[in-house]
Chain A
Amino acid sequence: MSIVLQAKGISKNFHDPITIQVLKDVSFEINRGEFVSVIGKSGCGKSTLLYILSTMDTDYEGDLLIDGVPMRNKKEGELALVRNEKIGFVFQFHYLLNEFSVLRNVMLPGLKLGKYSEQEVEHRAMEKLRILGIDNEAHKMANQLSGGQKQRVAIARALINDPLIIMGDEPTGNLDKKNSQIVFDIFNELAHEFKQTLLIVTHDNEFAQSTDRIIEMEDGRIIRM
């Protein structure tokens, strides 16, 4: 099984107002096709870790390898390219652009990658929306959807470039029970039917129990994996 993501001794300090070490020598690996959840109490550093793994936060010590390539010393533009091509994001909040239609929102990262023609990207976007069961809403504006639908559009957006890994930061945190279940079922389907690698930060233990592997954190350290 090939390693998709590898963290080697990652530490991070917050300096404001006083220096606090939030991550202490965190090391682990994620293999292709794994469905991993990260749990822990608030403030244990799980979100901080996720943003470092996502390449958006570059202020850390240690090494991060994505697809075997070290991320340290990469320029901002190169990291943007890595995020575009290899990582899909689902946040607690959907972050859809209200100026665009649902379809267009899903297409944006695909158009940015420029691997396929516009028609092809559109076709692929429709396919992703169909998988998530919201292809009927494709031509609505983003702000006309319900909260659960928006989160599903955000997942479709994360999938558009067939990323190496999907990272989620409390993706069900803003949703009610029913919608949480829908999103959770989608993740399960992606993991088991499409062999999509997933790394989800959550504080929902029920959610975590049904994933392949749980990484539990406390005070900036991994205590179980």
Chain B
Amino acid sequence: MNTKLIFTIAKSLLVARWRQTLVAAIGVTFSIAMFITLLGFMTGLNDLLDGLILNRTPHIKLYNELKATPNQPIAISDKFKNHYNFIHSVKPSGTRAEIYNYGAIIDALKNDKRVFGVAPKLVAQVFYNVGAIDVTGVINGIDVEAENKLFYFQDYVTAGKFIDLKNTPNSIILGKGLADKMLANIGDVVQVTTPKGDRIQLKVVGLFQSGLQDFDKTQSYASLTTAQKLLGKPSNYVTDIQIKLTDMTLAPLVGKEYAKVFNLDAEDIQTANSQFETGSSVRSIISYAVGITLLVVAGFGIYNILNMMIYEKMDSIAILKATGFSGNDVNIIFISIALTIGFFGGLAGLISGFGLSVVIDNVPFNTAALPTIKTYPINYNPKFYVIGIIFSLITTYFAGLFPARKASKIDPVVIIRGK
């Protein structure tokens, strides 16, 4: 009964000053809308940029590093056991680039519950022949389906179909930059020379754009068998095993474990791309800081308006107290006014923030670097909306706290006798 009465009084005060109320609410609406839009846009952009690297980088890469053995023969020999040995100019020899018994390793990995997927890869250095000129480059031999499942290969193939790489023998998908350099198009046949001097002709079935121009100028993709044929290697010749885990954060730990178990070198994504995580978190912090600043400004607006309302309503507060409303009742009246402004302003802010996000989401955004992106990226994570409404309630509560306390402390005698 009492609460209901107090809310009716709060409501009447709000409605009586509806213009001021509206201005205060618009302040909250504006800041929450900006907060939502900013975070959605920033995070969308973050996800996009992270995806650029993270989506196509394996969480763990297993390979054979080209290096000299740490156990040189002289160190193993019994004869020189009691001597100090100095060896100059040590060179690696007989290192195998390929991964020994890769089929068995892949089977073992597929049985590991932490592993989301595995894709073998063969990296071959080649020369692309453009008339009389040779362009150095790399052909990546891939398991087309596995590559697509793990690294969204089809997203980067801007012309042609990625699956043709598997279906057409001796086919190649060229980087866009490389294709421009070679004046090659889909259906054309290009010639490449292997480091051993063999020449081979490949049919272009597609073009890809990775978003990294330098990458597109040198790289191209062929199926695993085509690449093996190109190098004259048997069908068990694979240089890299790419692994995606279900939980990316485990990569350094699991990588070390695999390196030990399979006697290979392992590189995890955190070590390879540590700069990206830093960039993402800094951008998020900036978005939150701007959003909170906007809210605090809106909070000061509410504070001012409530203060003014209290000065205007001195008489009403005095008579309420004279007729039996306690300081606490008056306090609740003004706090609930502030929270009402915060709640409805915040709600309108969420809606307009969502609207603004949708608008940005539909603004065309074409860049050569990002072939799959047609509009600006937006993240609609509900987390931001929850944070937004909680923030708006908290700031308006604090904005109302001091004016409300002031109102509750008004001495009716001073007001009434002052008349």
Asked if B2 and A112 sit within 8 Å, CB to CB, the answer is yes
With contact pairs A56-B413, A98-B16 given, residues A80 and B1 touching in the complex (Cβ less than 8 Å): no
How far apart are the CA atoms of A87 and B324 in the complex, in Å?
A: 9
Interface residues on A, range: 20 to 34
Query: Residue B323 contacts which of A99, A112, A114 (CB distance < 8 angstroms)?
Result: A112
How far apart are the CA atoms of A112 and B325 in the complex, in Å?
A: 7
Q: Which B residues touch A32, using CB under 8 A?
A: none
Asked if A80 and B321 sit within 8 Å, CB to CB, the answer is yes
Among B1, B319, B321, B324, the one with the most A-chain Cβ atoms within 10 Å of its Cβ is B324
Q: Which A residues touch B324, using CB under 8 A?
A: 80-81, 83-85, 109, 112-113
Asked whether any CB of chain B lies closer than 8 Å to the CB of A93, the reply is yes
Asked whether any CB of chain B lies closer than 8 Å to the CB of A157, the reply is yes
Asked if A80 and B417 sit within 8 Å, CB to CB, the answer is no
Q: Could you tell me which residues of chain B, from 148 to 190, have a CB within 8 Å of some CB in chain A?
A: none
A143 to chain B, nearest CB (A): 11
Asked if B322 and A89 sit within 8 Å, CB to CB, the answer is yes
Asked if A112 and B5 sit within 8 Å, CB to CB, the answer is yes
Query: Residue B318 contacts which of A81, A84, A95, A169 (CB distance < 8 angstroms)?
Result: A95
How far apart are the CA atoms of A54 and B323 in the complex, in Å?
A: 10
Q: Which A residues touch B416, using CB under 8 A?
A: 51, 91, 93, 95, 169
Asked whether any CB of chain B lies closer than 8 Å to the CB of A210, the reply is no
Asked if B328 and A77 sit within 8 Å, CB to CB, the answer is yes
Q: Return the chain B residue nearest A174 by Cβ.
A: B419
How far apart are the CA atoms of A41 and B178 in the complex, in Å?
A: 105
Asked whether any CB of chain A lies closer than 8 Å to the CB of B23, the reply is no
Q: Which B residues touch A91, using CB under 8 A?
A: 322, 416, 419
Asked whether any CB of chain A lies closer than 8 Å to the CB of B293, the reply is no
With contact pairs A47-B417, A51-B417, A97-B319 given, residues A77 and B326 touching in the complex (Cβ less than 8 Å): yes
Q: Could you tell me which residues of chain A, from 31 to 89, have a CB within 8 Å of some CB in chain B?
A: 47, 51, 54, 56-57, 76-77, 80-81, 83-85, 89
Q: Which B residues touch A56, using CB under 8 A?
A: 321-322, 411-413
A212 to chain B, nearest CB (A): 25
Q: Which A residues touch B417, using CB under 8 A?
A: 47, 51
Asked if A76 and B413 sit within 8 Å, CB to CB, the answer is no
Q: Return the chain A residue nearest B16 by Cβ.
A: A99
How far apart are the CA atoms of A100 and B323 in the complex, in Å?
A: 16
Interface string of A97-131 (1 = CB under 8 A from B): 11110000000110111100010000000000000
Query: Residue A57 contacts which of B9, B318, B320, B413 (CB distance < 8 angstroms)?
Result: B413
Q: Which A residues touch B15, using CB under 8 A?
A: 99
Asked whether any CB of chain B lies closer than 8 Å to the CB of A92, the reply is yes
Q: Return the chain B residue nearest A118 by Cβ.
A: B1
Asked if A99 and B13 sit within 8 Å, CB to CB, the answer is yes
With contact pairs A76-B327, A77-B327 given, residues A111 and B5 touching in the complex (Cβ less than 8 Å): yes
Asked if B319 and A95 sit within 8 Å, CB to CB, the answer is yes
How far apart are the CA atoms of A181 and B105 in the complex, in Å?
A: 108
Asked if A109 and B413 sit within 8 Å, CB to CB, the answer is no
Q: Return the chain B residue nearest A154 by Cβ.
A: B319
Interface residues on B, range: 20 to 34
Query: Residue A108 contacts which of B315, B321, B323, B413 (CB distance < 8 angstroms)?
Result: B323
How far apart are the CA atoms of A81 and B326 in the complex, in Å?
A: 8
Asked whether any CB of chain A lies closer than 8 Å to the CB of B191, the reply is no
Asked if A109 and B323 sit within 8 Å, CB to CB, the answer is yes
Q: Which B residues touch A84, using CB under 8 A?
A: 323-325
Query: Residue A114 contacts which of B2, B325, B329 (CB distance < 8 angstroms)?
Result: B2
Among A54, A77, A80, the one with the most B-chain Cβ atoms within 10 Å of its Cβ is A80
How far apart are the CA atoms of A33 and B326 in the complex, in Å?
A: 28
Q: Which B residues touch A57, using CB under 8 A?
A: 413
Q: Which B residues touch A99, using CB under 8 A?
A: 12-13, 15-16, 316
Query: Residue A111 contacts which of B1, B16, B419 (CB distance < 8 angstroms)?
Result: B1
Asked if B323 and A92 sit within 8 Å, CB to CB, the answer is no
B2 to chain A, nearest CB (A): 6
Asked if B419 and A93 sit within 8 Å, CB to CB, the answer is yes
B35 to chain A, nearest CB (A): 33
With contact pairs A81-B324, A112-B323 given, residues A95 and B315 touching in the complex (Cβ less than 8 Å): yes
Query: Residue A97 contacts which of B5, B316, B411, B419 (CB distance < 8 angstroms)?
Result: B316
Q: Could you tell me which residues of chain B, from 365 to 419, have a CB within 8 Å of some CB in chain A?
A: 411-413, 416-417, 419
Among A95, A96, A113, the one with the most B-chain Cβ atoms within 10 Å of its Cβ is A95
Asked if B13 and A157 sit within 8 Å, CB to CB, the answer is no
Asked if B12 and A80 sit within 8 Å, CB to CB, the answer is no
Asked if A100 and B325 sit within 8 Å, CB to CB, the answer is no
B409 to chain A, nearest CB (A): 10
Asked if B328 and A92 sit within 8 Å, CB to CB, the answer is no
How far apart are the CA atoms of A89 and B318 in the complex, in Å?
A: 12
How far apart are the CA atoms of A51 and B315 in the complex, in Å?
A: 16
Asked if B326 and A89 sit within 8 Å, CB to CB, the answer is no
Q: Return the chain B residue nearest A115 by Cβ.
A: B1
How far apart are the CA atoms of A206 and B373 in the complex, in Å?
A: 91
A158 to chain B, nearest CB (A): 8
Q: Beyond A80-B324, A84-B323, A111-B5: 20 further Cβ-contacts under 8 Å?
A: A51-B416, A54-B322, A56-B321, A76-B326, A76-B327, A77-B326, A81-B326, A85-B324, A89-B323, A92-B419, A93-B416, A95-B315, A95-B316, A97-B12, A108-B320, A109-B324, A111-B1, A112-B324, A112-B325, A114-B1
Sampled A-B contacts (30; CB under 8 Å): A51-B413, A54-B322, A56-B413, A76-B326, A76-B327, A77-B326, A77-B327, A77-B328, A80-B325, A80-B327, A84-B323, A91-B322, A91-B419, A93-B315, A93-B419, A95-B316, A95-B318, A95-B319, A96-B319, A97-B12, A97-B316, A99-B16, A108-B5, A108-B323, A109-B323, A109-B324, A111-B1, A112-B5, A114-B2, A157-B323
